Structure 1
Amino acid sequence: MSAVAALGALLGRLCPMIALVGPTGHVLAAGPTLERVLAPRAPVGARFLELFEVLRPHGVADMAGLAALEGARIRLRLRSGGRHALKGVLCRLPANGALGLPGGVVVNLSFGISVVEAVRDFGLTASDFAATDPTSEMLYLLEAKSAAMAESRRLNRRLDGARKAAQEQALSDPLTGLRNRRACDLALDDLCRAPEPFGLLHVDLDFFKQVNDGCGHAAGDLVLQVVARRMLAQARPDDILARVGGDEFVLLLPGMDDIPALETVARRLIAAIEAPVSDGPARHRVSASIGGVLRPARAEADPPSLMAAADRALYAAKAAGRGRAIMAGASARAGAGGALSPGPVTENSPVQGAAMRSG
Structure 2
Amino acid sequence: MISLDDFWVMNDQLVPMHVAIDGEGQIINVGPTMQKVLGDSLKAGISFLDLFDVQRPRWVETAEDLMKTAGSKLHLQLRQEPHTRMKAVLAPLPVGKGAVINLSFGISVVEAVRDFALTAADFSHTDQTIEMLYLVEAKSAAMQASRQLNLRLQGAKIAAEEQAFTDTLTGLKNRRAMDHVLDRLIATGKEFALMHVDLDLFKQVNDTLGHAAGDAVLQRVSAVMVDCVRKDDTVARVGGDEFVFIFEGLMDCERIEGLANRLIEGIEEPIRFGKDICRISASAGTTLSTAMVQPDAAVLLNQADAALYAAKRAGKAQHVFYREGLEAELVQNDSAQPPADVVLGQTGHG
The TM-score, its normalising length taken from structure 1, stands at: 0.84
Post-superposition offset of 1:3:
5.3
Query: For residues 298 and 44 of structure 1, do their structure 2 counterparts lie closer, same or farther at Cα, with a shift above 3 Å needed?
Result: farther
Contact 1:328 1:344 in 2 (8 A): no
Give the equivalent residue in structure 1 for 2:346: none
Aligned to 1:352: none
Identify if the C-alpha distance between structure 1 residues 330 and 262 changes in structure 2 by more than 3 Å, giving closer, same or farther.
farther
Q: CA deviation at 1:85?
A: 2.5
> Which sits farther off after the overlay, 118-127 or 280-289?
118-127
Q: Map 1:33-182 onto structure 2 (within 5 A).
A: 33-42=33-42, 45-94=45-94, 103-182=97-176
Q: Does the 8 A contact of 2:24 with 2:64 survive in 1?
A: no
Structure 2 SS opposite 1:187: helix
CA distance in 2, matches of 1:165, 1:331: 43
In the alignment, which residue of structure 2 is the partner of 1:218?
A: 212
| Aligned length in residues | 329
Equivalent runs, 1:3-14 vs 2, <5 Å? 4-14=4-14
Task: Give deviations 1:245-288, integer Å, cap 9, x for gaps.
Answer: 11111111112223343222221111110001122332211111
Q: 1:198·1:253 contact (CA, 8 Å) conserved in 2? A: yes
Shift of 1:305: 0.1
> What is the CA RMSD across the aligned residues, in angstroms?
2.4
TM-score of the pair, normalised by structure 2:
0.86
1:307-326 superposed matches below 5 A:
307-326=301-320
Q: How does 1:280-295 map to 2 (within 5 A)?
A: 280-295=274-289
Instruction: Please state how far the C-alpha of 1:82 moved relative to its aligned partner.
Output: 4.2
Q: Answer whether contact 2:195 2:246 (CA < 8 A) is retained.
A: yes
Q: Quick one: structure 1 residues 84 and 71, their matched pair in 2 at CA, closer, same or farther if it must change by over 3 Å?
A: same
**Residues 309 and 331 in structure 1, CA contact (< 8 A), matched pair in contact too:** no
More moved, 236-245 vs 7-16:
7-16
Contact 1:257–1:297 (8 Å) recurs in 2: no
Post-superposition CA distance 1:73-99 (Å, at most 9, x none): 22222122545332211222237xxxx
Quote the residue 2:28 is aligned against.
28
Aligned equivalents of 2:31, 2:17: Cα separation in 1:
5
C-alpha contact 1:290 1:317 (8 A) present in aligned 2: yes
Measured against aligned partners, the alpha-carbon deviations of 1:300-337 in whole angstroms (never above 9, x if no partner) come to 120000001111222232233322222212269xxxxx
User: Contact between 1:276 and 1:283, CA under 8 Å: does it hold in 2?
Assistant: yes
Aligned equivalents of 1:61 and 1:255: distance in 2? Answer: 70
* Percent of residue pairs identical: 48
Counterpart code for 1:60: V
- Mean alpha-carbon deviation: is it higher for 251-260 or for 307-316? 251-260
Q: Is the 8 A contact 1:293 1:328 kept in 2?
A: yes
Change (3 A) 1:331 1:120: farther
